[in-house]
Amino acid sequence: MTFSLCLLSLALGAAVSLLFGKRGAQAGLTLGALGGALAIAAGLLAIYAGGFTLSVDLGYGPGRAAFSLDGLSGFFVLTTGLVLLPVSVYNLHQQVRRSRVTYAALYDLLALATLLVFASENAFAFLFFWEVAAGAFYALVAFEDGREGRVGASYLYSAASKLGTAMILAAFFLAFAQAGTFGFPEMARSHLSGGYASAAFVLALAGFAVKAGVVPLQVWLPSSYSSAPPGAAALLAGGILNLGFYGIVRFDVQVLGPGPTWWGILVLLLGGISAAVGILYAIAQRDLSRFVAYSSVENAGIILIGLGIFMIGSSEKLYPLAALGVVVALLHMLHHSLAKSLLFLGVGAVDRATGTLQMDLLGELARKMPKTALLSFVAVLSLAALPPSSGFATEWLTLESLMQGFRLPELSARAAMAIAGAFLALAGGVAILGFVKLYGGVFLGRGRSEATRKAKDPSVAGLVGMGTLALLGLSVGVLAPLWIRVVAKATASLTPAGDISGRMFSMWPVLQPAYENFSALSPTLLALALPALVVMAWGAVRIFGGREMVRGRVWTSGEASTGGVGYTPRGFSNALRTVFSDFYRPKEEVVGRLYRSRTLFWLEGSFYEWASGVLLGVTRRMKRIQSGNLSAYLLYVFVVLMLVLVYASAG
């Protein structure tokens, strides 16, 4: 009942927005917030009490479209609701440059389709609402006038989405050929095996990895993030990307079942590479939204690391390790959804206040926009994985899970765990530098352009939405033991180990990674201890430190500075970009008297440009069959019909 009301609220929000103009748009966004609150309730009910079930007879080939919420889908609905509610409140203050009416309708439709994907138990319904969500986000990416490259970004997203859908559809058809039905439970009982199972696994993994933004299939992500309105970008981070992870767990794990160890090794290494590559490209960006986009690639990699541990543990029948892997993966997904959505709302506030997202042109915004700076600092702290934030708790648990690799019998699996751990450690170190660059360059120091002079905080609705996300994100770190209990309950059916939350607490609220006598940490106690240490240090300085303060002029290069000298964000990251110059391979060009350097993902300048050229060449040749001659079109239909009849008679 609760989930039905949630869906009804979002559907009404989309309809009201279109029917009643600007007032309808405001009502539609309010109904979106209500839908988020109901999604939170529906997700918790599904995790703890079982939930929504609905079956609709479609009356033709695909059979019955079944919708239900179990613990797993309930957790994804809960995560989406936790993002949808505050982002909808933030949207109430947002002045969209084009039609607010269309924006509100597309926003509610996107949320509705995303939730229905999580509830779908039928492959046909799953793909139908998957495509509705893709279409809604495509329209939102192309929505705002004045954003450079928005049309190209929407086309790129559409092309990537279609590629992913094609691979997922191929995997579903392989499972359908064995099961004879599109229902996920029936597919799981049919036990697709051998080479067919591996082919379906790889196809589905690649298709879902496109949606999750995993290297090397993430090329659509930076441009889409930077072109979408802030509310849509936040919902992308907190909902759309999670569709990819849901598909991996639901199909590659539950439907196909435990596979050979190399499945998990592939996912694990793919995650490690994505984490390292994502954050290395993030720190090289000048545009704030592209930085945040590549940070999502990093976090997608960390989530995949957890899912890889889960798959390896399931294959080797180390079920506590498997259960630990999926718990840390989904806990990190929750952390990323909240922190990244908050940061995107902060980015939107900065863009609205200054008119630019070029980090080298910003600065001093902590003084101009103090509330936005404080709330954005919570997101930065979490995404840099510094204590006592949610990112610290989830990345610590992920590293501890990787350290259990010595328990695996196969050398290849142990080596993969070690390599993934090295990638994660590299990503963690670079992430700290990257977010120092972001926060220091945007909010601290002197303003570096006229754009920051009249900047001010958003309205109360915007701050309430951001503040709610900040409190929720902090709770995942400070109250990590409670959230672990929720995630462990939601994933209990995925392994014979069941709910492992009891094994993860040696003494409340101290956490251990599912195995005794290994290591332990309490994010809760750490969150209490750190402020106490800061107060003690401040008191010691006040009591024992000197009372006189000497102020002097800043010196640079042996001379006293006259002011205005300081690091730009690009200058701060220059050392790292120099060290990894062979990795970045920047594209340099001289136009007149101007020197320009761009850092592109290496496949963008080689494989993807070549592939797009080949595709365009093929389409130009195929356009010749579009002659406008009715007789020619009738001939095409006749030829296709004959081929179908020949195939049917041969079968």
Alpha helix locations (H) across 236-369? 241-247, 261-283, 288-315, 319-354, 365-368
Residue 117's nearest CA partner among 68, 162, 84 is: 68
- Would you tell me the crossing angle of helices 21-49 and 2-19 to the nearest 10 degrees? 170
> Could you tell me the two tokens for 219?
């090329």
What is the C-alpha to C-alpha distance for residues 187 and 180, in angstroms, rounded to an integer? 8
> Could you tell me the two tokens for 191?
């036990």
| Vertex 454 angle, CA 463 and 375, to 5° | 25
Neighbours of 407 (CB within 10 A): 15
CA 634 to chain centre: 47
Domain assignment of residue 471, yes or no: no
Residue 36's nearest CA partner among 294, 301, 235, 271 is: 235
The pLDDT of residue 176 is above 80:
yes
Return the residue matching tokens 């009942």: 1
Domain assignment of residue 634, yes or no: yes
141-178: burial string, b at 16+ Cβ within 10 Å, e else: bbbbeebeebeebbebbbebbeebbebbbebbebbbeb
Domain assignment of residue 71, yes or no: no
418: exposed, middle or buried (C-beta count within 10 Å: 0-12, 13-18, 19+)?
middle
Q: Are 367 and 485 in contact (CB under 8 A)?
A: no
Domain assignment of residue 211, yes or no: no
- The DSSP bridge partners found for residue 57 are 64
Domain assignment of residue 620, yes or no: yes
What is the C-alpha to C-alpha distance for residues 50 and 67, in angstroms, rounded to an integer? 13
pLDDT attached to residue 248: 92
What is the C-alpha to C-alpha distance for residues 418 and 399, in angstroms, rounded to an integer? 10
The pLDDT tens digits of the residues spanning 439-454 come to 888 888 777 777 777 8
439: enclosing H helix or E strand = helix 411-443
Query: CA-CA distances (angstroms) from residue 383 to 164, 299, 420, 493?
Result: 27, 9, 19, 30
pLDDT attached to residue 606: 58
Q: Is 552 left (phi over 0), alpha (psi -120 to 50) or beta?
A: beta
The pLDDT tens digits of the residues spanning 485-532 come to 999 999 888 888 888 877 777 677 787 777 777 778 888 888 888 888
> Could you tell me the two tokens for 549?
């303060």
Among 50-59, 192-201, 587-596, which range has the highest average pLDDT?
Answer: 192-201
What is the C-alpha to C-alpha distance for residues 292 and 368, in angstroms, rounded to an integer? 22
The pLDDT tens digits of the residues spanning 209-231 come to 988 888 887 777 777 777 777 77
Count of structural domains within the chain:
1
The pLDDT of residue 190 is above 50:
yes
Residue 48's nearest CA partner among 74, 76, 66, 68 is: 74
Q: Which of 2-6, 18-22, 144-148, 398-402 bottoms out in mean pLDDT, i.e. has the lowest? A: 144-148
Domain assignment of residue 366, yes or no: no
pLDDT attached to residue 97: 45
Residue 390's nearest CA partner among 346, 345, 348, 340 is: 340
The pLDDT of residue 340 is above 50:
yes
pLDDT attached to residue 92: 81
Q: What's the mean pLDDT when you consider all of the chain?
A: 82
Domain assignment of residue 491, yes or no: no
**What is the Cα gyration radius of the chain?**
26
Region 569-583: mean pLDDT is 72
341: exposed, middle or buried (C-beta count within 10 Å: 0-12, 13-18, 19+)?
buried
Q: Are 387 and 527 in contact (CB under 8 A)?
A: yes
pLDDT attached to residue 330: 94
507: three-class secondary structure by DSSP: strand
pLDDT attached to residue 590: 66
- For residue 645, the enclosing domain spans 604-650
Q: Which of 88-102, 281-295, 328-342 bottoms out in mean pLDDT, i.e. has the lowest? A: 88-102
> Could you tell me the two tokens for 575?
């050392």
What is the C-alpha to C-alpha distance for residues 368 and 437, in angstroms, rounded to an integer? 19
Domain assignment of residue 298, yes or no: no
495 vs 57, residue with greater confidence: 495
Neighbours of 311 (CB within 10 A): 28
> Could you tell me the two tokens for 83?
């993002």
The pLDDT of residue 362 is above 80:
yes
514-550: burial string, b at 16+ Cβ within 10 Å, e else: bbeeeeebbbbebbeeeeeeeeeeeeeeeeeeeeeee
pLDDT attached to residue 63: 59
